C-alpha cells in the first residue's frame, strides 16, 4: 500500500516537472490522460501540490533571470564573422585559381607530350632510326630538364658545403 502511494507521488512529481510547462501552453494531446490523472492526484495530495507550487515558482524564477548580451559583444561578433567571411571568400578564390592552373598545366603537358612524341617519331623516320632509338631519345629529352636541375642543385649544395667547410677550417 505504502509502495503504491510512493509510486503515485513519484509519478506525479515526474509529471509535474516534465509536463508542467507544456500543460501551461496547451499541452500534448497524448498526455491529456496523464494530465487528468495528475489533476486528480493533486486535488487529494497536499505534498505534491506544494511540490507543484515550488516547481512552478522555480520555473518562473528561471525564466525571470535576466541575462543579456552586450551591444559591444554583438557588434564585435558581427565584425569578426564578416572578416572571416571575406577570408573564406578569398581562400575559395585562391583555390579556384589553383584548380584552373592545375587543369591548364595538365592540358598543356598532355598536348606538348603528344606533339613531342609525334615530332620524335617524324625525326626518327627521317633519320631512318629504329623506333626504340628515337623512343629512348624522347624519354631522355623529357627527363633531361629534371636531371639537369637535380645536378645543378647538388653541385650548388656541394659548393656551399665546401665553402662553409673552408671557413670553418
Residues that bind other proteins (CB under 8 A): 13-14, 17-18, 21, 51, 54-55, 57-59, 61-69, 73-74, 76-78, 80-82, 84-85, 88-89
CB 46 within 8 A of CB 12: no
Query: d(Cα 69, Cα 157) in Å, to the nearest integer?
Result: 60
CB 63 within 8 A of CB 27: no
Q: Closer to other proteins by CB, 5 or 77: give it.
A: 77
CB of 70 to other proteins, least distance (A): 8
Q: Closer to other proteins by CB, 54 or 103: give it.
A: 54
SS3 42: helix
Q: Closer to other proteins by CB, 57 or 125: give it.
A: 57
Q: How far is CA 3 from the centre of its chain?
A: 53
Q: Closer to other proteins by CB, 54 or 112: give it.
A: 54
Task: Show the DSSP H helices in 25-44 as ranges.
Answer: 32-44
Q: Closer to other proteins by CB, 88 or 116: give it.
A: 88
CB of 118 to other proteins, least distance (A): 47
CB of 139 to other proteins, least distance (A): 46
CB 34 within 8 A of CB 19: yes
CB of 58 to other proteins, least distance (A): 5
Please state at what angle helix 2-24 crosses helix 32-44, rounded to 10 degrees: 120
CB of 5 to other proteins, least distance (A): 19
Amino acid at each position: 500500500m505504502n509502495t503504491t502511494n510512493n509510486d503515485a507521488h513519484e509519478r506525479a512529481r515526474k509529471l509535474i516537472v516534465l509536463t508542467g510547462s507544456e500543460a501551461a501552453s496547451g499541452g500534448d494531446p497524448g498526455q491529456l490522460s496523464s494530465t487528468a490523472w495528475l489533476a486528480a492526484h493533486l486535488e487529494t495530495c497536499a505534498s505534491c501540490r506544494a511540490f507543484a507550487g515550488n516547481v512552478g515558482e522555480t520555473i518562473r524564477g528561471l525564466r525571470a533571470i535576466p541575462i543579456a548580451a552586450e551591444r559591444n559583444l554583438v557588434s564585435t561578433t558581427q565584425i569578426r564573422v564578416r572578416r572571416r567571411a571575406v577570408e573564406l571568400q578569398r581562400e575559395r578564390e585562391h583555390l579556384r585559381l589553383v584548380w584552373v592552373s592545375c587543369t591548364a598545366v595538365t592540358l598543356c603537358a598532355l598536348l606538348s607530350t603528344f606533339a613531342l612524341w609525334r615530332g620524335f617519331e617524324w625525326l626518327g623516320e627521317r633519320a631512318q632510326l629504329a623506333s626504340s632509338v628515337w623512343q629512348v631519345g624522347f624519354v631522355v629529352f623529357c627527363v633531361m630538364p629534371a636531371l639537369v636541375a637535380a645536378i645543378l642543385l647538388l653541385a650548388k649544395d656541394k659548393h656551399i658545403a665546401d665553402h662553409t667547410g673552408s671557413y670553418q677550417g
